[in-house]
Chain A
Amino acid sequence: MIAAIFLIVVPLLAGFSFLFIDKYLAKFRKLFILGTGLITLLLSIELLIQVIKHPLVYNLGNWKEGIGISLIIDPLGGILAVLIAFISFIIILYSLSYIKNHQLKYYTLLFLLITGMLGMVLTGDLFNLYVFFEITSIISYVLVAFNKNDTSFEASFKYMIIGSISGILILLAIILIYQSTGTLNLAQLVITARVIPIQLKKVITVLILIGFGAKFAVVPLHTWLPDAHSTAPSPISALLSGVVIKVFLYALLRVLFILFKVDELLALDFNNLFLYSGVITLFTGHLLAYRQDKLKRLLAYSSIAQIGYILIGIGLFNERGLEGAIYHVINHAVVKGVLFMTAGIFILKTKKKNIGDLKGVGYQLPLSSFIFTVSALNIVGLPPFNSFISKWLLLHAALKAGFIIPASSILLGSLISLSYYLRIIILLYSKVKEELTSIKISYQLQLAPLLLSLFYLPLALFPNFLLLLIKKAPLFLLKTINYYNILLGGKEWIGLFG
């Protein structure tokens, strides 16, 4: 029970008190940072164990249900919380050896970013979701500009313009929802959302789709992502591409499924909207990635393409599609984290950003190049790795539901991504004429990507363990009467608890 609130309070407290720790207890700085990351991870795992058995509610201030703010945690929230805490811990480990200046402000902002993401996932109140959304967004605008050169400021400013407009659209949607239903509690909205007149519902839906869509980069609104993720420092790029985008997708799903029941959504043709925007996003991402010469920009476009896969999975609106989508979220977060971290090692040690300059680096930095190669083969979807399983699940679900175009685009997309990743791998290991010296690299820098990439094998060979956890998640999204029952009692659970 207490794990829920401490999961948000611990990083928040760490972020606020970092100034004091740095001034008075400077020797314990590394211990403090690692300790906070570890405690957050352990708390989130404990929360997941509790939530799988029965979803959890925590009323802040101990007010009656529906009067104050409550934290409502269902299995999907628990899984995402563990993912966020885990990837953040790995990124903290990586940043300890990567970031050399402005460390004080960096770790403060990083802890507050972790708080913001965890808050968005755990909360049960609509306006609280907006506040944490703004916290996460503002910190990501600032961290993109961390390197303080001209391109970073440009990318951050453009990101900020698009981000603020999307925040305003979401605030307008929240005002309209409050005015027509009178409540801001997500569980109560399940019941009272039917008093909203249908015309108003359509306007609210358009506003939330554009608002949240600009933050997880669906295609017409994706233009900020390649600039922002390529000029940010590498640990921040890994965190942004891996986890932050997915949390915004989660928020969209949560609000959308609470406002509408699934049959209404099918009647309004929303599944086609998700499916075909997923297909367009996929192709745009892959085709534009093919033409890049900068390494991090290529990885950023690849992230856009993977969001396309996840949107296809969601657009099927049944349990299989949602399971495939959630599994792909987890896989992509892990793999893209490793890819960005090794790309960061390349850039830091060879001081070159273009792909063409990476000729022969495979012999200078053997371990990092090997990890990069393995991860690149992973994200393409080759068989012994975990992305193969999630893409297979998505393909299977799409074929079973009878959508041929999305299914074939999944296959085609993987082929295109194979071509551009193969180009990088060949360049890494090509023989160069002059003698190359091996570059000295500290073990600590390579520890984090190595640790994360060790998770490929368990995720690939024992998928059933994870699938067991994920199976409960779509039941709370699709049949939102279950979500209502978490907070406000009632005994008619659908599909759970007998």
Chain B
Amino acid sequence: MTAAADPVGATPMNMLSAINHTLHREMARDDRVIVFGEDVAKSGGVFRATDGLQAEFGATRVVDMPLAEGVIIGSAVGLAASGMVPVPEIQFLGFAYQAFHQIAGQLARLRYRTDGRLNAAVTVRAPFGGGVRTPELHSEAIESQLANIPGLKIAMPASAADAKGLLATAIRDPDPVMFLEPLRGYRAVSDPVPDGDHLVPFGEARTVSEGDDLVIIAWSYMVEIARQAADRLRTEGVSVQVLDLRTIVPLDVEAIAAAVERCGRVVVVQEAPETCGFASEVIATINDEAFYSLEAPVARVSGYDHPYPVGMLEDDYVPSVERVLAAVRRTLEMAP
């Protein structure tokens, strides 16, 4: 469900343009919003996500930082404690390992340990994910590691409209949000983006395509893979729902349960390695909420349990439409 407060129309754009457009809007809306990171200011970011911000908002609000992820996040905590609304960029999510001491040790728990006296209203933007020939640490999906840190919210849009709506919500949210952007979708995913103020609430999954034989649950770019698989299956007479979680923290437990109750068969798709990936949490949630609606074991389609591969081998690592189709077919063939 998308809440468009000001539905004056929509403009087609890709995810990258939607993100850039939203940063412009949010900076214009609230002068406490400040953008900083590696190469984000003068150069407008290595993917151009922050293009034009410094020209419009000046060098004290859009700042190039040292290549030092620890202090990019650490200083965001101090900025937030001083009443600012920092929107730092981590150039690639894999670089966030260099900042885990600040993310897990400071950012996520500032509110808890001050009993609500301090908020970390920080939105950390970070692109991630494979399929664009970037090497290992530039590609890996580490959302489940972040989801295991209480205090963080995690938004993972799959469409340009959601990139706008979730980013605006993230920036206006008083809690720290990890806003994870699919590299592969930056230019490849394009759809109509509502004009004007557009906010997508956290914790509300989106049904991308309707169906009732099986539900594919996915997030970020894997939603696009799932959608392509569902389109293919539809031509074969199989009706597949695709559920885009949009935010994994908070998680839309009700939407997951409702989809499982209706379809009875489930495939969960994630880009991360299989072990302890967020798919495991989705499956545990299904066990808790809708176990008796299952007609077959829940299938997972994941990356594999090894470091992200370099070069052309990534095509065998990142879940493909073919692998999703195979998992769907296996699941449909199982007797209830």
Question: Do A and B form a real pair?
Answer: no
Interface residues of A, Cβ cutoff 8 Å to B: none
Interface residues of B, Cβ cutoff 8 Å to A: none
